[in-house]
Structure 1
Amino acid sequence: MLATPGSLPPTGMEDRWAFEVKQDGQRVMVYLPGDGSTILRSRSGADITTAYPELTGLGSVLGRPAVLDGEIVALDREGRSDFERLQSRMGLTSAAKVAHMAKLVPAHLVLFDAVHLDSRSLTGLPYTERRTLLEDLGLDGEHWSTPAAVVGHGEQALEMTRTAGLEGLVAKRLTSVYEPGVRSRSWIKIRHVRTVDVVVGGWVPGRGRLTGLPGALLVGETHEGGLRYVGSVGTGWSTTERTTLAELLRVAAIDDCPFDTMPHVAGARWVLPRLVGEVRYTSRTRAGLLRQPSWHRLRPDLAPDDFV
């Protein structure tokens, strides 16, 4: 069951929803046959059990058949899920490499739903009943946990996640059943969206219907004496806006890369770093690159020197 992007439910209806912290990790279905074994499957259905050996003890801890829904995360020093850290664990096939990385970046399994227990399917039960059954399993340990869900108080919960530097919330309707494979309006994910003013230093031509138009902009942030590359932005424009940008980029073309360090982007073209825009993004990598950036608007009222 997948969540639909959206916003908080209306204030007068908040008591009909539970709110859980949105985790930034790898979605997983946990199959526990009841014989002490554990099978982990990704959203695609791929068996990823061998990539996370520290999680396989869950089957022996529970000791009964179950199918649980959750997220595999890697926690930072403040206990927040950090997708960039988790990426070092994803897709590993060498047993030696897996064992080594498990010591450096231990995985943690966050459980948030139960869809099968013993010989009974739970998908037709309302969220509140499934949640109670999950919590009654008492699955809290070094490598797995069942974080609390809060009923009502959505605005306060959202502000708490913002203050704590978390990604956001998932709101779940208390009466909702579990809909396998469905992106449902009964689960709403609310992300904190940040904005930043950036300077355009280059672009990559589009393909297909975008031939002759920018497919992505290469953007940076100014600092004393230079322009630091912070990422590639490829969404957020209408066709009219792309056409306007294409003309602005054409007249600003230069031969040399304006960034402090040339980004490794195939087909990049460079422009004078004069065009300023506002970009939305969810978070940054440790290297300072924008995650999930989207173009918001041009800022003709700003020059690059305005925010050095």
Structure 2
Amino acid sequence: MVALPQIAPMLATPGSLPPETVEDRWAFEVKHDGQRAIVYLPGDGTVTLRARSGSDITPAYPELAGLGSALGRPAVLDSEIVAFDSEGRSDFERLQSRMGLAGSAAKAARMAKIVPAHLILFDAVYLDHSLIRLPYADRRTLLEDLHLNGAHWSTPAAVVGHGARALEMTRTAGLEGVIAKRLTSLYEPGVRSRAWIKIRHVLTVDVIVGGWVPGRGRLTGLPGALLVGEWREGALRYAGSVGTGWSDTERTILAALLQAAAIDACPFDEVPEVAGARWVLPRLVGEVRYATRTRAGRLRHPSWHRLRPDLAPDDIT
């Protein structure tokens, strides 16, 4: 069995579409709302899936095991695990019911029948040898030539040029957006690169929860607002208060997580002037929608989007 190299995923930078004058130098892929996974195929019929954090999540997705026998050569592929809704759109909320089941094979098998996962393959970083020094266009050709399309995995096409049209098509279809990838770009493991640009239809950011403010009335004991921050220059900087966007179920789940993480000291580098604030260990990661930022970097009109159990605080530094 071949000892495959451990490769950290290359990350995209939030931004806007490349200018039309140079868009023929870029490919555009649909941005799917799922869990990033590096796929390791040693060529012996087995498969290992590793999350962005490097943790082994293979047991959580037993329906993806067949990919190991679909390719009879050593490979490392980049991908996104998704769960589709009734309209065929990736739905992170559905996928959440599948995440975190790596330690329970029986439950993972049951859930695989209820909420089947699908593996979106979009890059090849190793095929018999390392491909990270090859341009993106060449890696995509090699990936597509593998013809990996099955019931639980596929290799969607990437479109060269026509960025505005691709973005509008995703908007019409109710998808999250597109990722633009420079055709000449090399694969940069673990790097958030300007060679890959993610363009979403709404602005979002991954944040770290550092505190909360209890609600009142029917929300007594539940969070009325979350106090969130971002790592900047080795410190957790306060980014604002998020007080909307949860369902009742999500609010209850957050309450339990916050109570379990309670601490006495503020984790932010500067204590925000928020009355009634309670502090927590900065270990919960969430995704927040927002309109823009203030000059001080605070989020304007933020709204909670989702917890990110697939990310640790160190993953978003």
Using the size of structure 2 for normalisation, the TM-score is 0.66
Cα distance, 1:206–1:124 mapped onto 2, change above 3 Å:
closer
User: 1:79 corresponds to which residue?
Assistant: 88
Residue 165 of structure 1 and its aligned partner are, at CA, apart by 0.4
User: 2:219 corresponds to which residue?
Assistant: none
Structure 2 unaligned regions, length at least 5: 1-9, 205-214, 217-223, 230-234, 255-269, 279-285, 295-317
Q: d(CA) in 1 for partners of 2:70 and 2:122?
A: 17
**SS of the counterpart of 2:85?**
coil
Retained in 2: the 8 A contact 1:32–1:59? yes
Residue 205 of structure 1 and its aligned partner are, at CA, apart by 7.2
Aligned positions of 1:204-219 closer than 5 A: 216-219=241-244
1:51 to 32, 46, 60: 60
Paired letter, 1:218: G
User: 1:108 corresponds to which residue?
Assistant: 118
Cα distance, 1:220–1:146 mapped onto 2, change above 3 Å:
closer
User: 1:185 corresponds to which residue?
Assistant: 194
Retained in 1: the 8 A contact 2:32–2:90? yes
Cα distance, 1:129–1:295 mapped onto 2, change above 3 Å:
closer
Retained in 1: the 8 A contact 2:203–2:291? no
Residue 44 of structure 1 and its aligned partner are, at CA, apart by 1.1
Retained in 2: the 8 A contact 1:168–1:189? yes
Retained in 2: the 8 A contact 1:219–1:229? no
Residues 1:176 and 2:185 are matched in the alignment: yes
User: 1:33 corresponds to which residue?
Assistant: 42
Cα distance, 1:165–1:205 mapped onto 2, change above 3 Å:
closer
**SS of the counterpart of 1:156?**
helix
Q: d(CA) in 2 for partners of 1:162 and 1:21?
A: 11
Aligned positions of 1:1-308 closer than 5 A: 1-92=10-101, 93-118=103-128, 120-193=129-202, 203=225, 216-219=241-244, 292-294=288-290, 296=292
Cα distance, 1:217–1:141 mapped onto 2, change above 3 Å:
closer
Q: d(CA) in 1 for partners of 2:228 and 2:76?
A: 44
Paired letter, 1:184: S
- How many residues of Structure 1 are paired with residues of Structure 2 in the alignment? 236
Query: Where has structure 1 moved over 4 Å in runs of 4 or more?
Result: 200-207, 228-232, 295-298
Residue 293 of structure 1 and its aligned partner are, at CA, apart by 2.6
Residue 204 of structure 1 and its aligned partner are, at CA, apart by 6.0
Residue 229 of structure 1 and its aligned partner are, at CA, apart by 11
Retained in 1: the 8 A contact 2:202–2:289? no
Per-residue CA deviation, residues 263-304 of structure 1 (Å, 9 max, x unaligned), is xxx96xxxxxxxxxxxxxxxxxxxxxx962336599xxxxxx
Q: d(CA) in 1 for partners of 2:250 and 2:83?
A: 24
Cα distance, 1:218–1:102 mapped onto 2, change above 3 Å:
same
Q: d(CA) in 1 for partners of 2:172 and 2:15?
A: 20
- Determine what percentage of the aligned residue pairs are the same residue: 69
Residue 215 of structure 1 and its aligned partner are, at CA, apart by 5.2
**SS of the counterpart of 1:157?**
helix
Residue 216 of structure 1 and its aligned partner are, at CA, apart by 1.9
Per-residue CA deviation, residues 7-48 of structure 1 (Å, 9 max, x unaligned), is 000110100000000011111110000111111111111111
Q: d(CA) in 2 for partners of 1:84 and 1:26?
A: 11
Per-residue CA deviation, residues 183-241 of structure 1 (Å, 9 max, x unaligned), is 1110000011179xxxx99556789x99xx995242479xxxxxx99989xxxxxx9xx
Cα distance, 1:38–1:206 mapped onto 2, change above 3 Å:
closer
Per-residue CA deviation, residues 96-130 of structure 1 (Å, 9 max, x unaligned), is 11111000000000000000102x21111111110
Q: d(CA) in 2 for partners of 1:35 and 1:172?
A: 32
Retained in 2: the 8 A contact 1:66–1:114? yes
Paired letter, 2:12: A
Retained in 2: the 8 A contact 1:218–1:229? no
**SS of the counterpart of 1:31?**
strand
Retained in 2: the 8 A contact 1:8–1:190? yes
Over the aligned positions, Cα root-mean-square deviation in angstroms equals: 3.4
**SS of the counterpart of 1:13?**
helix
